A and B are shown apart, each in its own frame.
Chain A
Amino acid sequence: AQSVTQLGSHVSVSEGALVLLRCNYSSSVPPYLFWYVQYPNQGLQLLLKYTSAATLVKGINGFEAEFKKSETSFHLTKPSAHMSDAAEYFCAVSVWAASGGSYIPTFGRGTSLIVHP
């Protein structure tokens, strides 16, 4: 079974500062990895995904994440935070479930990013 751990339920940064949101996973098979963003009172939107093509993945809004197999990590970064980045961020791992015939995702508990002016 797979699991996802997001370190820190809240991360606070100043506008213009580096954003680093941590995600570690466990999976018995090579996984697909994702970061999603959720703005208040909305559903989740895909930020970026890792599907084994390249270890450094670029997403929308200037975010990127690096897959490190040896560390089982998939941390999300952005060089310079903007006020509009304030949201909840979820890391997810997805593996194929043969019994159900579908990819089954497991989500982390989320990290709330707070951006100070």
Chain B
Amino acid sequence: NAGVTQTPKFQVLKTGQSMTLQCAQDMNHNSMYWYRQDPGMGLRLIYYSASEGTTDKGEVPNGYNVSRLNKREFSLRLESAAPSQTSVYFCASSRAPGTQYFGPGTRLLVL
């Protein structure tokens, strides 16, 4: 039981490049979430998915897209990376009301 896994662990991009962050959970959870964590800002919700086939915007969705591929997988795509998207990205899943299980994070640097 791996819980929530994320790939890659670390990535460097140039401004304008695109990339997809992958997330998978093996806990049979319905809800999945993408956050970004910046110093002094806590975690801010980018997008979430209540169930397979549905996605909704969170607090900071601009510049990102998501895909809920199936119940296990929820990917985050940056179409044209900008330096402001330098951050640590966390994926989480949830079954019980509100309790979140987090992945180890992806550190993204956009030059």
Contact = CB atoms under 8 A, between A and B. Distances in A.
A103 B42 contact: no
B50 A101 contact: yes
Interface of B: 4, 30-31, 33, 40-45, 48-51, 54, 56, 58, 90, 92, 94, 97-105
Interface of A: 9, 32, 34, 36, 41-46, 49, 51, 90, 92, 94, 96-97, 99-110
Nearest to A51: B97
Contact of A44 (B31, B40, B58, B90): B90
A10 B92 CA distance: 25
| Contact residues of A: prevailing secondary structure | strand
B102 A107 contact: no
B40 A9 contact: yes
B40 A102 contact: no
Nearest to A45: B102
A99 B99 contact: no
Contact of B105 (A43, A45, A102, A104): A43
Nearest to A1: B59
Contacts of B100: 34, 36, 44, 46, 92, 105
B102 A44 contact: yes
A43 B56 CA distance: 23
A9 B92 CA distance: 24
A90 B43 contact: yes
Contact of B99 (A46, A109, A110): A46
Contacts of A42: 104-105
A102 B31 CA distance: 7
A43 B49 CA distance: 19
B37 to A, nearest CB: 9
Contacts of B99: 34, 46, 49
Nearest to A6: B42
